């Protein structure tokens, strides 16, 4: 009888281990409206009418699951309010203005910002957001850990641009039904609007035609976050034990964090005549992981995933 029980236990362990090895790495999922604001550096004592929703990393319960991403969340500053001024000795940050308008406080400078603006906030420069408008301003805050020993050059001036001024383009490996606005890349980038970052590889917006897709794929050595700005569809997040795509119905405000190697993608549910779905995406290097293939620190096109031939540049 005991031997039969042992055989059953072994069979269960084998089945579980087989599923674990067959499945893709994990992902995390959030819905922005459902996330409760939490205390943050940006909402410290010297702030006013500011709140922060931690979607991933610092402030979130699954902070240990992310390696290179220091923070990813939504800052809201109400009319007449201001965030605290912050700076970090080993963290580069990006802001994307989701809605509204306000003022970026950058060192001793003040710069007007509005919806679809994006900016690079380097190590050591104090920054924050103030709002003198009549409506709330919402900003997606992204931070990335600078590894010890990495040399980071000072940014000579504020790097700020608008996604409205970035041209849409088709990237061959992602098919003809999704177009990309390549907003920010690394300091060596020659194709992004801003060549600014060190750990963050690519900040971009995907524009999906009705029924469109960016063709699911994976990135072997990078963490990636998708935020659905507009529309509804199916998010691909991983593969099942049979290596089939796992699809998750999503609506506006859905945010997904993908670990390196996870199958990622999106299928729009929009019909002809309806507005295109829009996705804000950001991909970053994981400290200590090597980038596979030539040009591995490129933009949206990955390496080794379906529709992403190794070494191909858009």
* Residue of 289 and 292 predicted with greater confidence: 289
| Cβ-proximal residues to 163 (8 Å cutoff; 6+ apart), any chain | 96, 116, 117, 118, 181, 183, 205
77 has a pLDDT exceeding 70: yes
Q: Tokens 């090895």 belong to which residue?
A: 21
- Would the pLDDT of 313 be above 90? no
The phi-psi region of residue 226 (left if phi > 0; otherwise alpha if psi is between -120 and 50; otherwise beta) is: beta
pLDDT at 254 exceeding the cut of 50 = yes
R_g over Cα of the chain: 20
Average pLDDT over residues 181-202: 97
**Residue 219 corresponds to which tokens in the numbers above?**
């990135």
More confident residue, 17 or 125: 125
At the top level of CATH, which class does the domain 24-147+162-285 belong to? mainly beta
Per this entry, what is the length of the chain?
314
Q: Once rounded to an integer, what is the mean pLDDT over residues 100-113?
A: 98
Among 118, 123, 119, 128, residue whose Cα is nearest residue 147: 123
Domain ranges of the chain: 24-147+162-285
Mean pLDDT of the chain: 88
Query: What residues contact 16, with CB distance under 8 A and at least 6 apart?
Result: none
* 21-42 pLDDT, tens digit each: 334 348 999 999 999 999 999 9
Identify the CA nearest to 200 among candidates 79, 65, 26, 70. Answer: 70
Annotate 233-284 with DSSP letters as a single string: EEEEEEE-TTSPEEEEEEETTEEEEE-TT--EEEEE-PPTTSPPEEEEEEEE
Token reading at 89: 């000795």
CA angle 174, 178, 179 (to 5 degrees): 100
Share of the chain above pLDDT 70, in %: 84
Whether the predicted pLDDT of 15 surpasses 70: no
Mean pLDDT of the region 274-303: 74
| Cα–Cα dist 139/98, whole Å | 5
CA dist 105 and 121 (Å) reads: 11
Neighbouring residues of 177: CB distance < 8 A, sequence distance ≥ 6? 208, 209, 211, 212, 213, 268
pLDDT higher than threshold 70 for residue 94: yes
Q: Which residue has the higher pLDDT, 200 or 287?
A: 200
Name the least confident of 12-16, 52-56, 291-295: 12-16
Band of residue 172 on the pLDDT scale cut at 50, 70, 90: confident
Q: How confident is the model at residue 292 (pLDDT cuts 50, 70, 90)?
A: low
Is the pLDDT assigned to residue 304 strictly greater than 70?
Answer: no
Give residue 70's pLDDT.
Answer: 97
pLDDT at 26: 86
């Amino acid at each position: 009888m005991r031997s039969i029980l042992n055989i059953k236990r072994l069979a269960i362990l084998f089945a579980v281990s087989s599923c674990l090895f067959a499945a893709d790495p994990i992902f995390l999922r959030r819905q922005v409206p459902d996330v409760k604001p939490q205390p943050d550096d940006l909402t410290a004592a010297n702030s006013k009418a500011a709140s922060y929703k931690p979607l991933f990393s610092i402030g979130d319960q699954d902070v240990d699951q992310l390696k290179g991403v220091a923070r990813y969340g939504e800052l809201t500053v109400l009319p007449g309010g201001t965030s605290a001024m912050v700076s970090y000795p080993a963290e580069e940050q990006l802001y994307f203005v989701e809605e509204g308008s306000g003022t970026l406080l950058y060192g001793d400078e003040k710069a007007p910002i509005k919806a679809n603006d994006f900016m690079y906030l380097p190590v050591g420069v104090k920054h924050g957001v103030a709002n003198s408008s009549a409506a709330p301003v919402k900003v997606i805050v992204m931070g990335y850990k600078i590894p010890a020993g990495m040399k980071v050059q000072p940014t000579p001036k504020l790097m700020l641009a608008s996604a409205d001024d970035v041209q849409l383009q088709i990237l061959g490996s992602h098919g003809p039904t999704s177009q990309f606005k390549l907003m920010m890349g690394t300091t060596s980038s020659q194709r992004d609007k801003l060549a600014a970052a060190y750990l963050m590889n690519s900040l971009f917006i995907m524009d999906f035609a009705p029924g469109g897709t960016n063709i699911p794929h994976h990135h072997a050595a990078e963490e990636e976050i998708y935020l659905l700005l507009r529309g509804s569809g199916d998010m691909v997040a991983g593969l099942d034990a049979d290596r089939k795509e796992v699809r998750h119905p999503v609506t506006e405000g859905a945010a997904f964090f993908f670990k390196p190697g996870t199958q990622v993608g999106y299928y729009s549910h929009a019909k002809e005549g309806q507005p295109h779905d829009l996705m804000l995406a950001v991909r970053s290097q994981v400290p200590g992981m090597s980038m596979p293939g030539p040009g591995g620190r490129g933009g949206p096109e990955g390496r080794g995933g379906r529709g992403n031939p190794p070494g191909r540049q858009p």
